Amino acid sequence: MSVKLKFDCPADGGMVRRSPSMVSGKSPRIPSSSRVGSSIWGQQPEQVDKIFQALRKGLKDYLENHQTELDFLSSQQRDTKRNSRLAFFYDLEKEIRALERYIRRLEFQISKVEELYESYCIQWRLCQGALNMKRAFSLSPSSRQSRESLLELNRNHRHSLEDMCAMEGELEILLGELQIKMKGLIGFARLCPGDQYEVLIRLGRQRWRIRGRIQTDDQQLWDEEEMVFLPHIHGNFEIKVTEVKGLSSILVGMVTCRSADFFTARPQMMVVDITELGTIKLQLEVVWK
């Protein structure tokens, strides 16, 4: 089923909030893990590990794609030199230089991620070692020396957790942004002219609520086209679709999507089963920047 879309607002309207791209090395975000001090006691290193791996793979895919593009432009440059098309040659050289700078930034970004990941793993091993020693001391007879050792172990454990929390904040700054574009609902016979739907996409405190109507010509009219989200380490996308009927609404379905799945170099067309049987699906385009 092809989906025809119309939007009340232009794509570059004021509702789309952008932040600097991942390769700039800067971001206005405040890392969620550094805002809440108590979060260090709820560590989920397995989730952080998945984010690290996905981010590293995504950056390497970006690097490979741009290196391929650079090789192609360089071959064009060699041919242009022989053909002496000077104006085109200078434009091509300018493009090559910009691409080379971009590739150097990507290489620096990858090295930064790998260095951060190595440090995070070290601190996590220190945490595990401290916990194991605390258990061993708790099984031995209590003495002044054992109590002092336990206090020291508790301090070391807390410091390692605080260091991990700070590293998670640094990692979140490197995650860039995810641009979500609405591509419409797919429902075959379930979507009828006049039906109205509300889609809520939530990531932590970030929310995108849009409304749409099925029109008589099979087009879908939605009030917004796209939204930019800042991904979090410990947050996944929650998608909720409801059918609006007058002053009431009926829940169609709710799903959760892992943020780590979106760190890819190429735009992804995502089709999500909203109902258990897949009779209504939501189609989104996700672009990682």
208 lies in the same domain as 108: no
**Sheet strands side by side (includes 268-273):** 226-229, 178-186, 281-288, 268-273
Segment among 29-33, 82-86, 104-108, 281-285 with least mean pLDDT: 29-33
Residue 78 scores a pLDDT above 80: no
* Residue 85 confidence (pLDDT): 60
Q: Where a domain ends, among 144, 173, 202?
A: 173
26 lies in the same domain as 166: yes
* Residue 38 confidence (pLDDT): 37
38 lies in the same domain as 167: yes
89 lies in the same domain as 118: yes
Tell me: the pLDDT tens digits for 209-224? 999 999 988 899 999 9
Residue 36 scores a pLDDT above 80: no
111 lies in the same domain as 93: yes
CA distance 40 to 38: 5
168 lies in the same domain as 46: yes
Segment among 46-60, 62-76, 126-140, 232-246 with least mean pLDDT: 126-140
Q: Which residue has the higher pLDDT, 38 or 181?
A: 181
Tell me: the pLDDT tens digits for 152-175? 888 989 999 999 999 999 999 999
Q: Where a domain ends, among 173, 190, 222?
A: 173
Based on the structure, what is the number of domains in the chain? 2
221 lies in the same domain as 282: yes
CA distance 285 to 106: 24
Report the CATH number at residue 184: 2.60.40.150
- Give me the domain span that covers residue 50: 22-173
Q: Where a domain ends, among 121, 150, 173?
A: 173
